[in-house]
A and B are shown apart, each in its own frame.
Chain A
Amino acid sequence: MKITAGGVVAAEWTKFSSLRSTWVTTGISVVLLIAFGAIASASFAGDNLSAVDLALSGSTLAALAVGVLGALLGASEYTTGMIRATLAAVPRRLPVLWSKSLVAGLVAVVVMTAGAFAAFAVGSAVLNDKVGSLALGDDGVLRALFGAGIYLGLVAVLGVALGMLVRSSAGAIAILAGLLLIVPGLAALLPNAVSEAITPYLPSNAGSAVMALTQSEGALAPWTGLAVFAGYVIVTLVAAAYRLKKTDA
């Protein structure tokens, strides 16, 4: 009997899977992704958006939902007091953060990748006739669908890191929503030259680049964008790790 990395991951999986709220939130994320994709595919044409872009138009809301999932997983340790039991069992602490991120990230990647494919299938089935249909084999389609799954998985990890960093569900969710939804809107208010320079690098814009088939003007290349987003996630994780290790629980 001793503490192992695999054991800590298994423990985090047990924590994740034994809460009804995690499955409800995960389910909501998938439903949002598919439902908004279907609605947009059936009714919207314009802006040069392709069938894949329309099918994934629920990704913004889905990102918010998986981010909330991660934030709740991280912050609930503190809001429920569970963190004391957790850290008494794993006093070196950091394995808890890595394992929780891994579990949340992997579940989100798997579920949301499946969700992206489902959204594409449903979206293609109900696609309005003003938009040309696409097949999985067409240029960039697989990249966009897998990219959507990876991006949403990273958003879940960002949520975990924010939850462990600020130790409050409301605070973590507010920061998450601010980063993903509000910051891009605020950037648009800046003088044009500044706005154009920074907008592509904002978290949600950078991350979304990987799932866009129609690149908006000035956007980062798909994998570059995802890498930039991963950078934000890593910085947040490091900050969360620092606080976890250095401050009293």
Chain B
Amino acid sequence: MIQVREVTKRYGAKTVVDHLSFTAQPGQVTGFLGPNGAGKSTTMRMVVGLDAPSSGDVLVNGKPYASSPAPLREIGVLLEAKAVHPGRTAVSHLLAMARTHGIPRSRVDEVLGLAGLSAVAHKRVGAFSLGMGQRLGIAAALLGDPAVVMLDEPVNGLDPEGVLWVRNLLAGLAAEGRTVMLSSHLMTEVALIADHLVIVGRGKLLADTSVADFVTSEGVRVVTAAPDALRAVIAAAGVTVTSTGAEELFVTGITAREIGLAAATRGIPLFELTPQNTSLEEAFMNLTHDAVEYEAAR
């Protein structure tokens, strides 16, 4: 569990994180979202004590990170791909981290295998692609078999196969009861992985919500051979039906399931029955619009 409590971080006159509070719970994937410059990376650095908060505090599994006798067992982090000496091999890099905690060599080989890096374990990191660097960073995060895994923009630079791997890996870690938190500035990417969303803008909390609640239903698009018959069947208080084409209707105030059942009882053929949700991207843009730090002139 990660508890961020009333954390503020100032660099000179600039407030990067502003009284931010949220909790990342065990057993679920928490997506940490915000536009560039929203303070995501700074917050993550404060979780592991790389930056000290100007005020407030952060607890990892109920205690300050630095007080843990085995920090790598508490939380594994990927903060920046390729934060590694380019002259060192992947295996030496992980071994150096492992030795601090007396983690055996076998575990190093294990996480390299898990990250699909066994074949390049003895290559220098300087020759790695961005995607391989990300994989190495994720391998490092898993080294101590930690209760919490926190990844900053983990799918940056990964190929589609790698993105899928990260998605399955994180879902698996959460299913094992671990706390998983990942940051991104891309809503669509996080929506596929996360159960819970923490959205920030200019260092302030904008939303702390489940993914399901964040997506609001707009209505249902129906394509049918008999639009008029269907209109008659589903007509009720609170239901509005608009015709959007010869065979197309847009229905609000009733679920797709109810429409389908009603049509079936009267034998009305349906060709399409599609719930229309606000795209997450759109909801995210609406929410963060005012908090965008760097915006293109229009």
Residues of A at the B interface (CB closer than 8 Å) are: 1-4, 7-8, 10-12, 14-15, 18-21, 76, 80-92, 248-249
Contact = CB atoms under 8 A, between A and B. Distances in A.
14 contacts: A3-B72, A7-B100, A7-B101, A15-B88, A19-B88, A76-B85, A80-B85, A81-B84, A88-B79, A91-B49, A91-B65, A91-B66, A91-B71, A92-B66
B97 A85 contact: yes
Contacts of A21: 87
Most buried by A among B77, B88, B140: B88
A11 B72 CA distance: 14
A122 B101 CA distance: 44
Given A7-B102, A80-B86, A85 B66 contact: no
Contact of A20 (B45, B73, B87): B87
Nearest to A5: B100
A145 to B, nearest CB: 33
A11 B85 contact: no
Contacts of B98: 11
Nearest to A18: B92
Contacts of A91: 48-49, 65-66, 68, 71
Interface on chain B toward A: helix, strand, loop, or mixed SS? loop
B49 A85 contact: no
A82 B79 contact: no
B269 to A, nearest CB: 60
Most buried by A among B50, B69, B96: B96
Contacts of B77: 88
A19 B87 contact: yes
Interface string B28-57: 000000000000000001001111100000
A87 to B, nearest CB: 6
Nearest to A10: B99
A161 B48 CA distance: 24
Interface string B168-190: 00000000000000000000000
B102 A81 contact: no
Given A1-B144, A89-B71, A18 B96 contact: yes
B247 interface: no
Contacts of B95: 14, 18
B239 interface: no
A48 B187 CA distance: 78
Contacts of A19: 85, 87-88
A8 B103 CA distance: 12
Nearest to A95: B100
Nearest first, the 3 closest Cβ-Cβ pairs linking A and B are A81-B83, A18-B92, A91-B66
Contacts of A20: 87
Nearest to B48: A88
A157 to B, nearest CB: 20
A112 to B, nearest CB: 23
B71 A81 contact: no
A83 B88 CA distance: 14
A163 to B, nearest CB: 13
A78 to B, nearest CB: 11
Contacts of A90: 71, 100
Contact of B101 (A3, A15, A92): A3
Most buried by B among A3, A4, A92: A3
B71 A3 contact: yes
Contact of B83 (A4, A85, A248): A85
B84 A14 contact: no
B161 to A, nearest CB: 25
A14 B85 contact: no
Contacts of B69: 2-3
